[in-house]
Amino acid sequence: MASTLFRTIQIHPFLLYPTALFSRRNGVLYCTMKSSQTQTATQEKQQPPKVKVPQHALKKTVDKITRDYEAIIGIETHVQLSTLTKAFCSCPYNYGSQPNTNICPICMGLPGALPVLNSKVIEFAVKLGLALNCKLSLNSKFDRKQYFYPDLPKGYQISQFDIPIATGGYVDLDLPLEFGGGHRKFGTTRVHMEEDAGKLLHSGNGDYSQEITSLTSIYSYFSKHTVDLNRAGVPLLEIVSEPDMRTGIEAAEYAAELQRVVRYLGISNGNMQEGSLRCDVNVSIRPVGQSEFGTKVEIKNLNSFSSINRAIDFEISRQALLHSQGQSDQIVQETRLWEEGAQKTVTMRKKEGLSDYRYFPEPDLPEVILTQEYVDSISNSLPELPEAKRRRYEKMGLSMQDVLFLANDMNVAEYFDETLSSGADIKLAANWIMGDIAAYMKNEKLSINDIKLTPQELAELIASIKSGTISGKIGKEILSELLAKGGTVKGLIEEKDLIQIADPVEIGKMIDKVISENPKQLEQYRSGKTKLQGFFAGQVMKLSKGKANPGLLNKILLEKLNGQS
C-alpha cells in the first residue's frame, strides 16, 4: 500500500503532499541540512520527472498491478572509511586528487610488495559492527577474491569471505512522516572489511580524457582506457542487508540510516556523490502470499537515496508488469543500470552462471584476533547513535517531525544537545534551530558548523526573550547578526541598547506623545474606528525603537485610548 502511494507521489509530488515538500526541502527526509553537499531526494524532486500523460495513465495501471505483488529488496552497501591512510599501505587518500598521485608499490601491486593492515580499519569495523548490533567474530581472517580487471592491481581483492568480522545485527529507523511514518527494523546479514579498487577511465567518458591521449601513443586497449589507482587499497566496509525491505522508500531510508550511523561514528563521510557510500540493490517480486522468492535483479549506479528509491520502484513496476503479462520468464538474473536521465533501469550485463572468485585465505596477512577487552573499550567509546538519539528526543516530548529533523544530522543534533545543556527550553531551542537558523543556513548554503552563533549564545538568546529582557522581535533581529558575525547576546544588547522597555511610566509617556501628535487618528478611533489601535501601537513601537514591551504597550495604549477623553 505504501509503495503504491509513493509511486503516485513521484508523479505529482507537489500536488498531493505540499507539506511533505516543505519539510523535505528543509532536509527532514535524508539526513543533512547541508544541501549543497549531499544530494537528497528533495533536490531531484525539484525537477519533476518528465512524465507524459499517457505514461501517467500506464503508471496507474501498473500501480494496480503491483498491488498484487510483494517486492523483496536487499542492499549491499560499501562504505569507504575515512582513515588517514589506505588499508594496507601508508598512502593517503583524497577524493579528487590528480590521477595516480596517491599510490605506492604496495597499492600498485608491484612485485614483492606486501600488505600490512592498518589497525584503524579493524577499529572502524568493530565500531560499525557494534553500532549495527552485530555479533563480532573474535577470530576472523582476510581472503583473496580473485578476478582480472585493470583497476585491480594485484589480480585479487583482499576481502573477507567465510568469516566476516561481524554478522547478524539490524538497523532501526523511522520513516519520514510524509511517507506514512512508522518505525522499521531491517536485518543486516554481515559486515566485512575489504579494499577498494582503482578506477578505469575511458576516453571521451571520463574526466581525464585529455590526459589519456597524451599518455598513450600506440594502438592498443590502453590508448582508449587508462587506470587511476588512487582509490586502490582504500578501506571499505561492506554491509549486506537481509532481504527485509519492501519498498523503494524503505530501502532509501535504510541506506540513509547507514549514512547517519557511519557519520555519527566518524568512520566515513558517507558521501554518495564521492562514492564514499555505494549501494547495490537486489530486487525481486513475488505474488502476494507466495513464499518462495522470485528471480532477483541487481541494480547499480545509484548515486543518491532518491535514485535508490526511484530505481527500486521502477524495477518493481517493470517486473510486475512482466509478471502480469505472463512474461515473468523475461525477468532474468542480471545486473541493471539505473539511468538517471531516463529514469529507468537498463540491462548492464546478464549473469552467465555464478562467478568463481576462487576465494582462499590471504597468506600475507595474519588472522584478525580481537580481544573482548578491545571490543569492550570500543563499545564504551561509542557515541550516542541516531536511533538512541531519536528515542531520547521523542521522550523529551518533541514531535516525530522535530525528532527526525534534529537527529538526522549529527552536527545539528550535537548543536541542539549543547543548546539544551546550556539551559535552553527544549521546544524553543528546537523551534529556533528548525526555523530561523535552518533558513539562514539554507540561504547561505552553510552547515551548522559554519555558523557563528554558538549553542551557548542561542541558549542565552532564548533565555533573554523568555525573561523579557528583549522582545522576540529584537531576538530575531540580533539572531541574524549572531549567525553571521558571532558575538554574545549580552554584548549586542548592550552595544545596541536593546533592552526592552518595561517601565509603564516610560511607555505611558511615549503613548502620550504619539496620541498628542495624532489628534486626527485619535478622533477617528474614538468615533469607532478601533482598528487604528494598531497604528498607534506601531507608532509607539517605532518611537521606542522596537524596545517597548508589546504586551505592556498594548495594555496602556488601550487604557489611554479608551480612558480619559
Partner 1 sequence: MLSTIQPPRYLSRFPLRGRTKSRPFHILSSAQPVTKTSFAADQSQILSIRYSLLNRHLSAVELTHSYLNRLKQTEPHISCFLHISDPDKVLKQAQDIDDKIKRNEEVGPLAGVLVAIKDNICTADMPSTGGSYILEGYRPPFDATAVKRLKDLGAIVVGKTNLDEFGMGSTTEASAFKVTANPWDLSRVPGGSSGGSAASVSARQCVVSLGSDTGGSVRQPASFCGVVGLKPTYGRVSRFGLMAYASSLDVIGCFGSSVADTGILLHAISGHDSLDATSSKREVPDFTSQFTSASSLKSRPLEGLRVGLIRETVDAGVDSGVKSAIQGAAAHLEQLGCVLKEVSLPSFSLGLPAYYILASSESSSNLSRYDGVRYGNQASSDELNALYEESRAKGFGSEVKMRILMGTYALSAGYYDAYYKRAQQVRTIIRKSFKAALDENDILISPAAPSAAYKIGEKKNDPLAMYAGDIMTVNVNLAGLPALVLPCGFVEGGAVGLPVGLQIIGAAFDEEKLVKVGHIFEQTLEGYNFVPPLITDVGGASA
* Contacting positions for partner 1 (CB under 8 A): 90-91, 100-101, 103-105, 108-117, 144, 146, 148, 150, 153-156, 215-222, 225-227, 229, 354, 356, 358-360, 363-366
In the complex, the smallest distance separating the C-beta of residue 349 from partner 1, rounded to whole angstroms, is 14
In the complex, the smallest distance separating the C-beta of residue 123 from partner 1, rounded to whole angstroms, is 17
Q: CA geometry: angle at 65 spanning 61 and 67, to 5°? A: 120
Identity of the residue, 152 or 407, whose beta carbon is nearer to partner 1 in the bound complex:
152
In the complex, the smallest distance separating the C-beta of residue 152 from partner 1, rounded to whole angstroms, is 9
- Which three three-digit cell numbers place residue 494? 548592550
DSSP characters over 382-428: PPPPHHHHHHHHHHTT--HHHHHHHHHSHHHHHHHHHHHHTT--HHH
Pairing of strands 360-361, 143-146: antiparallel
Please answer whether residues 544 and 499 qualify as being in contact, where contact means their C-beta atoms are separated by less than 8 angstroms: no
In the complex, the smallest distance separating the C-beta of residue 370 from partner 1, rounded to whole angstroms, is 16
CA-CA-CA-CA torsion sign (392, 394, 397, 402): positive
Please, which residues have CB within 8 angstroms of residue 193's CB and are 6 or more apart in sequence?
A: 87, 121, 122, 125, 142, 159, 160, 165, 235, 236, 237
Inter-CA distances, 140 with 76, 109, 367, 534, Å: 20, 24, 6, 75
- Which three three-digit cell numbers place residue 12? 505529482
Identity of the residue, 214 or 467, whose beta carbon is nearer to partner 1 in the bound complex:
214
In the complex, the smallest distance separating the C-beta of residue 269 from partner 1, rounded to whole angstroms, is 23
DSSP characters over 212-229: HHHH--SSSGGGTEEEE-
Identity of the residue, 100 or 488, whose beta carbon is nearer to partner 1 in the bound complex:
100
d(CA 150, CA 201): 10
CA-CA-CA-CA torsion sign (147, 151, 154, 156): negative
Identity of the residue, 223 or 422, whose beta carbon is nearer to partner 1 in the bound complex:
223
Strand partners, 452: none
Identity of the residue, 134 or 201, whose beta carbon is nearer to partner 1 in the bound complex:
201
In the complex, the smallest distance separating the C-beta of residue 279 from partner 1, rounded to whole angstroms, is 27
Q: Which of 54, 30, 56, 49 is nearest to 41 (CA)?
A: 30
In the complex, the smallest distance separating the C-beta of residue 361 from partner 1, rounded to whole angstroms, is 9
Identity of the residue, 17 or 156, whose beta carbon is nearer to partner 1 in the bound complex:
156
Identity of the residue, 356 or 373, whose beta carbon is nearer to partner 1 in the bound complex:
356
Please answer whether residues 429 and 461 qualify as being in contact, where contact means their C-beta atoms are separated by less than 8 angstroms: no
In the complex, the smallest distance separating the C-beta of residue 89 from partner 1, rounded to whole angstroms, is 8
Identity of the residue, 359 or 374, whose beta carbon is nearer to partner 1 in the bound complex:
359
